[in-house]
Amino acid sequence: MSSGQGHKPTRVLCIQLKQLGDVLMTTPAVRTLATNLGDCEIDFLTQRPANTIYDNSPYVRHVYCVRWKARELWSLLLEVRRRKYDVLVDFSGSSKTAHFARLSGIPRRIGLAHRKHSWCFTDAMTMPEEIDYVAARKLSMLSVLDLQSADSSLDFFVPAAARQRFEARFEQWGIKPGPLFAVSPVSKRAFKVWPAERYAQICDRLVERYAGQIFFLIGPGEKQVAEQVRDHMKHESLPVFDDLDLYEAASLLDRAACYIGNDNGLMHLSVARKRPTFAVFGRHSPRNWAAPDPMHATIEYDPGCKADCFYPGCQMECINGIPVDAVWQRLTGFIHDFALDQDPSGS
């Protein structure tokens, strides 16, 4: 396989900072690099907690986890220069990663075209307008290396030891037989958070119709949001835990009938674990951030301003305007088709 410049890369550095979903969206591209470049060493630069996504990946040799502080960056730049990478792929599209790429000393630098930092790259890419899904768009950046793939499915690998630790913990929770629904009513962005009292109504209906048990899938510092949903419920849920790491969250999703929640990193984790995933979308478009697969369903409402959003100068009608009954109608059909073998209600 050609690199587009006459030789096959032997060392590649990939960069994607910040959120879990953003980093998970790079996994198809990294898999394509690894499967097409043979013995090529692939390293990945990111930030916590997204480093876990590649810590156990069979496709990545080493993960650089940085806080993006000046002293740390100079040390990292020296290490990157010492490694003598052939190719750098910057998936982030930010000025700071673009300037890091320029200072890296790596001869082939692939990144997103931008008027402020295209000069940092040898190959400044413009995303194809016909590609919507972000993972597929990041994958298309490899075309300058003559690498292509139609497989934009996400990856997340759980080590056996972590799964065993989770199973021991799972047994202690005393979960009863019956469908387990992983509900994630959280996000760090207000325009992605469907109201807690509406999630409570959905959870109560899941208990009543499917004899389901509700497990709130959240991250550190998000327990209060889940407790708000729980306080609005008529029925009991399982206790709320905010100390699950990503491996435990993935193992929980493997046990669940499906994921139900906001457009957040845990939604993308569910997709990566190939679990049925139902997401309530606010400001962002499912065309870009939801996997193009019937097993991953969404619901959204466009009050007429999503294409020309003026947040925060609004009442977030895109998320607050989604009614419970509309979610329930779509969700029950989705559960019947993908999450359960049969509808216990008989309807």
* pLDDT confidence of residue 343: 41
Residue 5's pLDDT is: 55
Spatial separation of the C-alpha atoms in residues 248 and 64, rounded to whole Å: 22
- The CA distance from 232 to 216, in Å, is 14
Token digits of residue 95: 């000025």
Instruction: Give me the pLDDT at residue 341, please.
Output: 59
Fold agreement between 11-145 and 165-339: yes
Domains of the chain: which residue ranges?
A: 11-145, 165-339
* pLDDT the model gives residue 49: 87
Largest CA distance in the chain: 66
CATH class as words, domain 165-339: alpha beta
| Residue of 137, 141, 103 lying closest to 120 (CA atoms) | 103
- Between the alpha carbon of residue 284 and those of residues 170, 279, 298, the distances in Å are 34, 12, 12
> Which pTM does this prediction carry?
0.92
Q: Does residue 16 contact residue 29 with C-beta atoms inside 8 Å? A: no
| SS3 at position 15 | strand
CATH topology of domain 11-145: Rossmann fold (3.40.50)
Indicate the SS3 state at residue 264.
coil
Q: Which two tokens stand for residue 343?
A: 């509808």
A 10 A CB-CB count for 70 gives 7
List the chain pLDDT tens, one digit each, 347 residues. 344 455 789 999 999 998 899 999 999 999 999 999 988 999 999 998 899 999 999 999 999 988 877 778 888 999 999 999 999 999 998 899 999 999 999 999 999 998 889 999 999 988 888 889 999 999 999 999 999 899 999 999 999 999 999 998 888 887 887 899 999 999 999 899 999 999 999 999 999 999 999 999 998 889 999 999 999 999 999 989 888 999 999 999 999 999 999 999 999 999 999 999 999 999 999 999 999 999 999 999 998 888 888 888 888 999 999 999 999 999 999 999 997 754 434 33
